[in-house]
Structure 1
Amino acid sequence: MPREPDAFIEADYVIVGGGSAGCVLAHRLSADPSTQVVLIEAGGEADAFAVRMPAGMATLIGNAKFDWRYPSERDPSIANRSFVWSGGKMLGGGSSINGQVYIRGSRHDYQRWVDLGARGWSFDDCLPYFRRAEDFTGTPMDSHGRGGPLSVSEQRDPHPSAARFMAACAELGLPTLDDYCAGNQAGAFMSLATQREGQRCSTAAGYLAPVRKRRNLQVLTFALAERIVFEGRRAVGVRVRQQGRSVLVKARAEVIAASGAMGSPALLMRSGVGPADHLRGLGIEVVADMPGVGSELQEHVGVGINKVVNLPTYNSQVSPLHIAGHLARYLLSKKGPMATPAVQAMACARTSPA
């Protein structure tokens, strides 16, 4: 029998995971002052300078303090190699360590979901919510919104090579897209960034920070959710390990698993929800036999192509002197390398029918 918890907390909604989704949920659910909300995050605050500074991503990815560094199983199709998948371990989750490129899917991808039975998920259905989320600071476009929590901006300081790349794409016959977020990504375009006045705008910054002082919202950091507590098949709370103590966070209405594509299935399976034979093999009591939990995860494959060019690029300016110069420029003007220089300008070709 598990021992009694050291502390109890009770709320209407208990959100497990303070990442990209969790911060949005905390923002929206706590907007009702009669509703009590608890947000549980295994990592810490997203207030480090490297998090706020766009190019600081280079020091966050792969850093065990900020990145879960999920190891994959060895893959026989790639010479039995194993990869490490990044996941943000702080408030804001992946949006606090990613490259800050703002991009939506193509219209025909959304339509495929609808064709498979996901009503209400067409591109046109989702577009009003994209607009509502945005505070777009660039040239006004029909597909973008203003006044939302998430700041989306044009690049403040693109590298000269980005313009040359765009010109080369045009010479090859690729169309130049002024707005690649309108549903068509077949062409070349300058990337937009989830940044506000030269700083990263994660969901922790855009959604959570403005509402942290709400009296009906409690945020637990460095709090690892061990398992969801069930009474029969009803989720009634979450057992949390925080700074060496056991805390039971009880939920009057709902427990929401928002720990990402890796964390949420793992939490569910630790709690007895998943493929029964697999859980029994690990000594976990089965609450619900759900074979789909933890299966059919799909990830996009990235292939890097390096070219030697005859001009300095941000990727080549990595000496201590260059880094010091970029840092000084950023502190003075909030300008400098974007977090991911390789995707300042992008080109996409259609790979499936519209």
Structure 2
Amino acid sequence: MKSSLLKLIAINVGVTLGLLFGLNLLAHIVLLTGEQAMRLFNLDGGPDEVNEDRELAALPNYEGRSDEIFQHFRETFDIEMKYDPYLGWSREEFEGETITIDENGDRSHDALPNANTESPRVYIFGGSTVWGTGVVDNETLPAFYQGFAELQTINKGETAFISRQSFLSFSHLLAAGEEIDGVIFYEGVNDVQYGCRAELEVNEHARTQVFADRVEGGERDASPTRKFRSYWATLFFGAIGDLSAEVIDIINDNRESSAIAEDALICDTDPERAQQVAEALVANWELAHNLAEARGVEFMAVLQPVAYLGEPRIDHIHSVLTAEQGDQYRAVYPRIQALLAEHDYDWVEDYVPLLAADEEYYYIDFCHLSGNGNQKIAQRLYRDSRRRWSFL
């Protein structure tokens, strides 16, 4: 009797472990197939995202170019991201029809005809508006600036980066011995977008909680017992847990825009927080300016325009603008402008009014611009930097 019971228990344990091993193996396969598998489950890049990309490509900004711009948004989805120990994340090297990412994770644009590689080098820092969401390689803000200034211009924009990350990127490049002659910080949007999030602290980046969850859930004990548990998890549970985490991350990312409309933003109801966000941006710019001055690098900071302010033409994008989001910029931007006026910095420009009272369509959402908008901003950047910088 006892022998039969033990045999039954052994069979059940074996069947259970076999099922877990099989499920874990299946999860490994799903993780390895990556993007394609997620599309099958309609968790990322499915019909909704494709339709959104087609709607963006059909905006009047892109008249006659909808196929090219649709390809651009599809390529944006295809680029892999990687962990960066200094800044949080960057992009993998990529070469598509509309997007090129170099070995440094920076977006590239065509070199100037017969450009002198010994000419001064200008680095432009910021978020996705600098990186160039919504435009092909040669229509990014740095690309147009290079065309006007006829100087080597490096695109150091990255999606969701805030001013603290721009400062860290700049300081890291200097520490690594990079030759930099001029620097432009083109920012404001992301500092408000993430600084006003209820679950984040000022100066925390967009993926703070994701990183914290992964680190706190990591393996820190190298004891034999922990190693055995790790091997056990790898065989029977590891991939299942990883796949679950990926699915949760994707769902959370897809819900990010809707969360904004669910009282996730607080600067409009918390004046103290609004002031902290404004002060943090200006403080990060001060740090960057002081570092640049100490290293003999020309520096300029720009408060970037946003669709909610300055009365630009936005009749084509009303459906993607929200009152809750707009209230954050109306709460924080005037505070930033007041701080800049108080200090009267000679190295800061306010571009908020730059796209006002113009019949052209520039915006494709609340902050990103089509190529004509980047060209207009770059032309003004060139004029402003030229009257300040000795090498222009």
Q: TM-score range by the shorter chain?
A: under 0.3
**Higher strand proportion (structure 1 or 2):** 1
TM-score (norm 1): 0.20
